[in-house]
Structure 1
Amino acid sequence: MKSGKRAAFILLVLMSVFLLQGTPMVWKWMYPIKYQQEILTAAIKYNVDPYLVLAVIRSESGFKTDRVSKKGAVGLMQIMPDTAEWIVTQAKFQPKDEQYLYDPVMNIEIGTWYLNFLLNRYEGDLIKVVAAYNAGPGKVNGWLTTEQWSGHRETIEDIPFGETRQYVQRVLYYHDRYKRIYDFQLR
């Protein structure tokens, strides 16, 4: 075996040993947190599960503040500018400048406020909240009204939009993963 292949094999074996043992260090390396204090502050302020905020950020932007989607969603929590304007008005936020969605603190604050709004609208139903965060409450309400989707975790496969179906699965996966790895002490 050549030295490059041998090194790769040894690295693979070591990683397998760490993963099989469930070493917290390895899991935290695989599922890092950026902006932890900002997330916790907003989660407490708006009574939102911080693991949900983390899962949304990880799914939406991978913790990249400058990310802009093809549809125009901006920042860590990938907020559409029109939705952001509505939230700023509703919540009476005072953005510093026009580029406020690129500011991690403001983006987390706006996105977490919106998650709280959706949690209230859907009576705490995490599955419907995540679907509405992606597709919009109008679409989700339509699916529920026309019985295209029941809104239950067991029927995620029935969500009419493939993008939303995959998004809900991904956010729930990250939510569960972060919850297993980290232990936030919320005060």
Structure 2
Amino acid sequence: MKLGRRAALILLILASVFLLLNTSLVWKWMYPIKYQKEILSASQTYQVDPYLILAVIRSESGFETDRVSKKGAVGLMQIMPDTAAWIVKQAGFQPTSDQYLYDPVMNIRIGTWYLNFLMDRYKGDLVKVIAAYNAGPGKVSGWLEGEQWSGRLEHIEDIPFGETRQYVQRVLYYHDRYKNIYSTDLR
């Protein structure tokens, strides 16, 4: 009989811990938002889902402004300098220093402008946009034209690059997490 009470007590404790961990406060602690004002501003300016911006930043840099990848991508949204230079020219941005990719405001604006560009190119198809953000639109278009990948969510496993395949899955996961956690707080 003692063993039954212990088991019941353990189950009660586990259920309590689960309920405690399943609170909004805990979820927001696990999935924080930094640079909310800047993200919302860029989201509105370039008509890009703020949860997508958050998911990209979380996946790319974990909200670290000074992050530089092995390939040379810089800042919160991990933008390659050559791509950034092209975007600055296309969008008419006027950076105030040559270190503009480290500036959270400029990095978020450039990255969000690029997401909008990709949304236009891929007619709003989120999966293709995310893949192109990681691998580049030339590669993604090549995969689609060469029928290596259908571009569909249910065929993510067919993406030829493992890094891009995992990236798409990760960004979609974070997109859903942020959307579920902040659905009433953000917009």
Same fold (TM over 0.5): yes
What is the identity, as a one-letter code, of the residue corresponding to 1:107?
A: N
Mapped pair 1:71 → 2:84: no
Matched AA of 2:20: F
- The aligned counterpart of 1:105 is 105
Per the alignment, in what secondary structure is the counterpart of residue 168 of structure 2?
A: helix
Q: Distance in 2 between matches of 1:17 and 1:48?
A: 34
CA distance in structure 1 between the partners assigned to 2:167 and 2:24 by the alignment: 26
Partners of 1:18 and 1:113 lie apart in 2 by 39
Partner of residue 155, structure 2? 155
**Structure 1 residue ranges without an equivalent (≥5):** 1-11
Percent same amino acid at aligned positions? 76
Equivalent positions of 1:108-127 (< 5 A) are 108-127=108-127
- Counterpart in 2 of 1:8? none
Give SS of 2:40's match: helix
CA displacement at 1:185 relative to structure 2: 4.9
For residues 23-51 of structure 1, what are the alpha-carbon distances to aligned partners after superposition, in whole Å with 9 as ceiling and x for unaligned?
A: 00000000000000100000000000000
SS at match of 1:27: helix
Tell me by how many angstroms 1:82 deviates: 0.1
Unaligned runs of 5+ in 2: 1-12
Distance 1:145 1:154 in 2: 18
SS class of match (2:98)? coil
| Cα deviations by residue, 1:76-105 (Å, 9 ceiling, x for unpaired) | 000000000000000000000000000000
* Equivalent residue number for residue 138 of structure 1: 138
The equivalences for 1:24-103 within 5 A come to 24-103=24-103
Letter aligned with residue 17 of structure 1: L
Tell me, in whole angstroms, the C-alpha distance in 2 between the residues paired with 1:177 and 1:63.
Answer: 16
Q: Aligned pair 1:18/2:20, yes or no?
A: yes
Find runs of 4+ consecutive structure 1 residues off by over 4 angstroms: 12-15
2: CA distance, partners of 1:98 / 1:133:
23
Q: Residue type matched to 1:72 in 2?
A: G
Deviations 1:10-30 (A, max 9, x none): xx95653322xx200000000
Greater C-alpha Rg:
2
Offset at residue 54 of structure 1 (A): 0.2
The letter of the residue matching 1:67 is R
Alpha-carbon distance in 2 for matches of 1:65, 1:92 = 23
Match of 2:5? none
CA RMSD of aligned residues (A): 1.5
Q: TM-score, normalised by structure 1?
A: 0.90
